[in-house]
Every structure is written in C-alpha cells, then in structure tokens.
A and B are shown apart, each in its own frame.
Chain A
Amino acid sequence: MELLGDLGLGFATALSPYNLLYCFIGVLLGTAVGVLPGLGPVATIAMLLPITFGLPPVSALIMLAGIYYGAQYGGSTTAILINLPGESSSVVTAIDGYQMAKQGRAGPALATAALGSFFAGTVATFLLVLAAPPLAEVALKFGPAEYFSLMVLGLVASVALASGSLLKAFTMIVLGLLLGLVGSDVETGTQRFTFDMPELADGLNFVALSMGVFGLGEILRNLEHEHSRSVMVKHVSGLMLSKADFKRIIGPVLRGTGLGSVLGILPGGGAMLASFAAYTMEKKISPNRAQFGKGAIEGVAAPESANNAGAQTSFIPMLTLGIPSNPVMALMIGAMIIQGITPGPNVVTDEPELFWGMIVSMWIGNLMLVLLNLPLIGLWVRMLTIPYHLLFPAIIAFCCIGAFSVNNSVFDVFIMAVFGVVGYTLIKLDFEPAPLLLGFVLGPMLEENLRRAMLLSRGSPMVFITHPLSLGLLLVAAALLLIVVLPSVRSKREEAFSE
C-alpha cells in the first residue's frame, strides 16, 4: 500500500508540466546525441551539468536521466540506417540492423528497436521500484568497511567486465585511481600532486576531466576520418511489425530484458555490456541463428532491449548506495552534489519526491521516446546529414563554456584541453576510457572509506573480515578475480568480446 502512495507521489511529481517539459528536453537531447555519432551521453551530461545549477533538483535529474536512456534509443537509429553506432551500446545492433535496412526492412528493424526498448524500460523501471527501497534499507547499515569492500568489488568487476584486454582495463583503472588522488588529503589536508597550484587543492575537476576525455577526445578522433555518412534509406516506411516478426522477437526481448537488468546493476556494467552479452547469448540459442549477421530481427531485438534495461537498472546502486556503476551514474552523483543532496541510502527517505519522481519520469520518458522515435524518424535521418565541420566547433564551444562555468575558472578549461589530448591518445592506443573515469570517481571514495574504517577500528584491518557483509563482498570480488584470470575463462571471454 505504501508503495502505491509512493508511486502516487512519483506520478504527481513527474507529471507536473514543468517536469514533463524537462523530461521531454532530456529524451529529445538524448535521442539527438544518440543519433549523432561522435557524441555520447557522457559528454552531453557533462556539458549540461553546470546549467542544472539553476533548476530544481528533481527537474535537473529527470532531464539528465532522460539524456542517458534517450541515447539508447537514438543510437540504434544510426546503427540501423548507416551501419555506424551512434552510441557505444548500439555497436552490435548495427550488425543485423543494417543488413535488415539493406534488404528494405529498415522499418521493422526500427520498430523492433523502439518497442523492445520500451518493453525493457518498463520492466526495468518496475524492478527499480521494487528493489531500490529495500536495498536502501540494507544500505543504511553499511559502514565504512562495507562501503570499502563494495567498491573493491566494483573495481574488480569493472576490470572483469570491460571489453578488450584485461591488462589495458586494469591500467585504466589504476590511472583513474591515481588521478583521483590529486588534491587535499581528506584527513590531514596535506596537498598531493598539486604542484603548489591552489586550483588543484580540491582535485581535478570531474566535469572538465570527463568532458575532455569523452567529448574532446572523441571529436579529435572523429576528425581523423570524416566518414562519408551516406544515408541509404531516405524514407522509412512500414513501421508496423508483421505477426511473424512479432513472434520472433518476443523471446529475444524477454531474454534481453532479463540479462540487461542484471548486468545494469553490476558495477562497471550498464548499457554497453548488456547489449554485447545479449547479442552473444541470442546468437548461441536462437533457432534462427544461421541468419545472424545477415539481417536477423532477433539480433536487433535482444541487444536493444538489453541496453535499455541496463541503462535503467544502473540507477539502482546510484540511488540506493550513492555508488556509481558507470561514468554516467558518476555524473548523476555529481549533479546531486551540486544540488546539495547527499547521494546515499538517505535519498529514498529524505528526498522521496526526487526519488519517486525520477523513477516515474523514466517510464514516462520511455513512452515519449517511442512516440519520438517512430513517427519522427525522418527528422532524425535528416539530422545525420549535418556536416561535422559545423557540428564539432559548436560542441567544442559548448564544452569550454561548460567547463568554465562550474567554478568560473579558466583553469578548468585548460584541464579539459589537456584531458582531451589524453583521451585522444587513449582511444588511439585502444584503451577504453570508461574504466578510467570509474577509477577516478571510486578511487577517492575507496581511500576515504578504507582510512575511515581503519580509524574507527583503531588500526585493525580485521574489521573488513569480521563484518559479515564486508567479508561476503570481498569473497565475491576474490572469486571474480580468480575466474577472470583462469586461462580457460580468459580465452572464452576474449572470444565473446571479439564477436
């Protein structure tokens, strides 16, 4: 019954005209950046973070969340129509989606992506409603020792689940951790790696760093090869699915939703991992597996459901524990802090309007996205024809304004520029930058909780083992680490990601 009351509050908040507007702006922007290759939700949210100062917290978070899951919809459009993933989580969608488009079945492919996403979004939102409050209840009992162990698990998991080389993922995490050390020591105030620059006393600016690595870095790389983005399908027709198509996608959508929901919760998980895993699984078990790679509708349905489900459930650890499972969630936490809200288990009880309003808005946003994406597909197609030489300077200008406005500091703009070069170098060397950002965010939290736990236990490291929850988390982390380094698993893993 209480749940109904809470949901009522959520609907009342999310349906206020003001919040509906921001939800709409969010999903619209999200779709746009999803459609445009070279600009992802991380860079967009980082750019918009400073302007959310002026908004009420609920509206700000509703809008930012909309950008994230909106991008999952938009990304598939580009993937299907021009064989170029608009967003990293749509990489696998391009394989079969583009083949379908070539065979003149772009309409059904787009419809499958949108409907699968909507179904997955609905289920995952419902999961969020059910799981988050009890989890927050448990999280209230979390002390520094438990938080520390949880973050160890998070970092191990993000290495294990990262695509590509294990060593490279590990390197990125460590680099991120080191960057996170810049600034004042929490306990003693000692300056670390600040080179006597007071601007660095509070550490590297998170917004500047993420915009540099994800925004500028991506743009630099895209400038290298201006793709000829010929849109082969100018007019998309036949958005309705046939009965046979419908039958074929039910199974993949359900499985994708389930897998995506689980993988979204895991630290280091989220939309991208979910889509890869769902595609791989479907390829193994589908009765039509022979068609995969040649335009199988299942190859669109499964990853598209999975990435949207993963995008939604990755809010669970963020909202209940205050721990980000991916860079987007790290930015959301930043947005909360800007608004004066302490992320953590207290959000559910202290800010019920924010919590429930945001969850309900996700469902409403998903509904808006179906409407935005199917009838308006022509508009998005046309957007793809905006030339890069107009788009990129505009984005860079926005990045500079965004980085400057956080602290009204030119220093942060330089930081962003430096990390733009760093980001570009990493991409060139085939290093995935996401673990770096995760390490950067989790590193200081990890250190803080480690030292706090040791302080409270009067210097005894046994505290991590004597607390049952902490012990459990550490054991899971150890097991995961062991599994990943086992030779047989390692080769399987590489095989899975290379597909």
Chain B
Amino acid sequence: MSALGGGHAGGDGMNPVAAVVGLVLLILALGIIYVLSPGMAFMALIGVIIGGVMIGFGVHFVPVGGAPAAMGQSPGIATGVTMLAAGAGLAGLFGGAWAAELGFGVALAGGAIGGGLMMAITCLMVNVVYVYAMGIPAASGKVAKDPITGDTFEAYKSKGTEGHGLPFISYVGGVIGGMLGGLGGTLIYLELLAVYEAFLPAALNAQAEQIVPLAVGLAGIFAVGLFLINAVLAAYNITGTIEGPHDPKFKRFPRAVVGCAVASAVCGLFAIILVVI
C-alpha cells in the first residue's frame, strides 16, 4: 500500500483498464491526425510514437543508482534516471540535428552514436572515480555473475551494502540506453521538422527559406519536451534505481512501452496539429 492508501505501486503487471484507456487515446490521436492530414502528418505521428517508445525502452538500460550509489551503497551511476537519460539523449539529438541535411539514415545513426558516446565517456569516468579516487571495485547487487565477462561479485561486495560501482554489463547497458535515447530523440526531431517545413510556409504565408529557423527551433524544443516526458514516464516505471538489462526491474519495460506510446501520441498530436489545422 502506498502512503496515500492507494493500490500497489510496483510490480511487473499491467493494469488492464489503464491499458485499454491508453490504447483508446492512442487510436483517437492517430484518428484525428488521419482525418486532418492522412499523408505526411499521419506518418510523422507514427514516427513520433516510435521515437517515444525507443526513449522509454532505452531508459531501462541505463544503470542508475541514485543517492545510495553516491555513498557506494548500491551499484550504478549516482544520479537520477531521467537526468542521465536526458543528458545522453539530448547529446545525441545535438549530433542528429547537425547531420539532418546529410539524409535520414545518417542523421538517425549520428543521433544514436552521439547518445552512446556520451554514455560511454560518462560511465568510464564514473568507474575511474570509483576505482582511482575511492578504491572501490565494481560489484553488482542483483546478479552473482556478470553475464558478459563472467566476473563474480559476492566476494567484492562491501559489508552492509547492496554492491557498488559499475560492472561491465551495466556499462554496456548504459551505452545501449544512450544509443536508443539518441535515436528516439533524433527520430522525433526529424519527423516534426519535416512536418513544419512542409506546412509552415502555407500557414504563415512565407517563403520556405524564411521559416527554416522557426521550424528548426520548434522541432527542437518539441523533441526535447517529448524526450523528457518519455524519460520521466520510464523513470516512474522503474521506481528508483536500476542496474541495467540484467536487473529484474528491466522486465517491467512492456508497461513503459505502452505508456510512452500513448504519451507520445497525445503530445505528438498537439505538436503536429499546431501547423496542420
């Protein structure tokens, strides 16, 4: 029971009523855009939903230990789930937006690599601080053995803690999470940019070249907003800390996928309807 006397908050299951309400909202959002503009805008909304789902799924890979990790009491990176995922995903968005003129595929890959590179450097520096400044080797609290390297952890765990540091599986999870975040954020940006570049000249009665700065700014800020919405939703699903793909909490991701799809559809609807009407 929660402190407010509500139902059970955690667990892996999906509330059937909430799932049906969510799916109705999703179909409604898609239906509205289909009626208003069945071609490009409809496809853009589908792209936004896929991007949002990628962000929500990617956040589950990021090893976040929160406050206990800062005291070496639990493994992971000592910051918030949303915070870190947003940092990596937005660094990816920076790279993806820069490569937008080189084509869809290059931009998406550039965004994914930008997010992955940010996480690769951050996770390395976290381990450097743990090892060289604090003298603490990595030890997972959730699994006895690293699924990739086969390292055992029990003997390295300090007494009275749930483990500490960043085992290799968490490092790889962080990089994958950053890549998915960067990919999703860039996909949302590119889809919205295409819609704004197509519809804004007619809406504002202006030349296509004149609206480019406005289209880029609008698509960028909506992409950042949608990124934060999906990252926060996934963080609520995780409830606190997660070690990465080997953590039992990782199995909760289907619930986040549904939640992020619905949230992205509704928010994407507003982002697109702004210029389509």
The yes or no verdict on A and B being binding partners is no
Q: List B residues at the A interface (Cβ < 8 Å).
A: none
Q: List A residues at the B interface (Cβ < 8 Å).
A: none
